[in-house]
Amino acid sequence: MQQAITGYHRDGEDHWVAELACGHNQHVRHDPPWQNRPWVITRAGRARMLGERLDCRKCDEGAPPDRSQ
């Protein structure tokens, strides 16, 4: 299910995590060639992606919202 990005935070390993409108969190790593997300490495890139939608597997599975950070 597609969900909008509403914010970001860093996890305990300093990786970026997108906060989704559904209450789930999803890592958004830039780790070429596996994950190509150069927008995540700059503040402007992350801001530009606010409101964009990501596929939320947790919603597809019916998982409860993640705990707040």
Reading the block at residue 36, the tokens are 């190509």
Per-residue pLDDT of the chain (69 residues; tens, 9 = 90+): 999 999 999 999 999 999 999 999 999 999 888 899 999 999 999 999 999 999 999 999 999 999 865
Domain chopping of the chain, boundaries:
2-61
Q: What is the pLDDT of residue 68?
A: 64
- Beta-ladder partners of 38: none
Give the Å distances, CA to CA, from 36 to 12, 61, 62, 67, 68.
22, 25, 27, 27, 27
Q: What is the pLDDT of residue 69?
A: 57
CATH 2.60.120 is right for the domain spanning 2-61: no
